[in-house]
A and B are shown apart, each in its own frame.
Chain A
Amino acid sequence: MTLENSETNKSDIMVRVVNIKKKFGDLEVLKGINFQVTRGEVICIIGPSGSGKSTMLRCLNQLERITDGEIYVEEELMDKRKNDKTITHIDNDRLQSLRCDLGMVFQNFNLFPHLTVLENVTIAPRIVKKADISEINQRGLELLDMIGLKEKADEFPVRLSGGQQQRVAIARALAMDPKIMLFDEPTSALDPELVGEVLETMKNLANDGMTMIIVTHEIGFAREVADRVIFMDDGFICESGTPEEVILNPREERTQSFLNKIL
């Protein structure tokens, strides 16, 4: 019975990082980070500029390579390195499938400007998964419908507002059927009046049970949606807990002063 329990628990761990560090030359940006994310959990990461939030997300999907530590996705070892040397080699196929498991949404959307909205959403399934074209288009239109932009399918991204572009970027990531979605300040580049629609889309996603790791400065959103809030400072996780704990009753002085500054 206990065994069975621990088994299910184990398979519910979507991401686990063990003592990860990241150096750029002599600059150590991540100084030993540990955490894990369980299925369906929504984690918001907050913290001052330069504390390493983006770097951590980028290490998770291997846009940056960690210099030390271990990364597991669904308890499968994805990367293990020590002193900038690879301990376990991940081959390219595996790296690619890992990246398909982790959808990423960027601060600057990074939509492909030469492709229409629908093509933006369908291009990765088309060339990476090589599935049936009509099925992919069908699914693309469904996703656009879900974010309320089906009528924009044939427009080029430049014709969309920032908020619409970011929603398309979310749909584009979802088209690869990721198990986990990573968001790096998805609303920071938006005019204030456009922030709401993107947060709304993300809320719906959370309600649908998506596992999400969100770097954000939207404290109100974090309070409402996050299961857990992580406060990062200077390459460490300084404090972690429920929104009530971290945002309303922070234990650490640095968390308090950060929150005072931005609230």
Chain B
Amino acid sequence: MLNSTQLWAIVNGTIVTLEIAIVAIIFGAIFGIIVALGRISKNKIANGLSWFYIWFFRGTPLLLQLFMIFYAVPIIYLNATGKTFQIDPMICAFITFSLNSTAYLAEIIRSAIESIDHGQMEAAKALGMNYHQAMMKIIIPQTFKRLVAPIGNELIMLLKDTSLVSTIALFDLLRTVKTMASATGNWIYYVYAAVVYLFLTTILQVLFDKLEMKFGIYEKR
């Protein structure tokens, strides 16, 4: 069984995992809206930039992005300024996972916006609203229900992908139990980790199902 040191290590690992996933989903959603609006905008620059952003962050491995920020950025900084600079691994994880989930969420949000009937924008304009007002009050609120399930999905993916941070000297849940397993030669620690992951993903599933119902209340006949 677990002794209290091990228990606390697992709790701390779980917290690291959760923190990264939650920070990433929040920033990802906020910046994702901006990148998505860029993608549907007729402005060529905004459109091109957001296309490039999504292309890069979806087209390269998350692990590579993590390394680039953790290892490459300090070297670039050193070469440019002659000063050394150590990036905090937790901050690095927050940044990388947020940048990465922004790209995925931007695509999710874009397709949700495009799935709203064109007549909604026309009705809003015919009533004298400008593009910004129509987006904020009419179009985007209608995407919420359609966003809940894919965002829940993305959060669950993030939760599992956080195990990549063990490569930048962070002790997330998986790394914590791996260390214990190799120190003691006992595989049971992996089962504990599986239980924690399943517990978290189940809670998220239930939570997001509830949210979907709440946002979809106006569709009930």
Q: Which residues of A contact B (CB under 8 A)?
A: 61, 63, 92, 96-97, 99-100, 102-104, 106, 108, 110-115, 123-124, 127-128, 156-159, 169, 172-173, 176
Contacts and interface: CB of A to CB of B under 8 A. Distances in A.
B126 interface: yes
Interface stretch (B2-10, B117-125, B167-175): B117-125
A61 to B, nearest CB: 6
B142 A113 contact: yes
A99 B123 contact: no
Interface string B180-221: 000000000000000000000000000000000000011111
Interface string B112-136: 0000010110111111111001000
A99 B128 contact: yes
A97 B122 contact: no
B138 interface: yes
Contact of B123 (A102, A106, A114): A106
The 3 closest A-B pairs by CB, nearest first: A124-B127, A110-B123, A104-B126
B128 A96 contact: yes
B128 A106 contact: no
A173 B127 contact: yes
A106 B117 CA distance: 13
Nearest to A156: B218
A244 B212 CA distance: 56
Contacts of B127: 99-100, 123-124, 128, 172-173, 176
B87 to A, nearest CB: 43
Given A99-B126, A158-B218, A173-B127, 8 more contacts: A96-B128, A99-B125, A99-B128, A110-B119, A127-B133, A128-B133, A157-B218, A176-B127
By DSSP majority rule, is chain B's interface helix, strand, loop, or mixed? helix
Contacts of A61: 126
Contact of B129 (A63, A102, A108, A128): A128
A65 to B, nearest CB: 13
B142 A176 contact: no
Contact of A158 (B117, B124, B221): B221
B122 A114 contact: no
A100 B123 CA distance: 12
B205 to A, nearest CB: 24
Nearest to A112: B138
B122 A127 contact: no
Given A110-B120, A112-B120, A113-B142, A158 B219 contact: yes
B127 to A, nearest CB: 4
A34 to B, nearest CB: 24
A61 B126 CA distance: 7
A103 B126 CA distance: 7
Interface string B13-36: 000000000000000000000000
A179 to B, nearest CB: 13
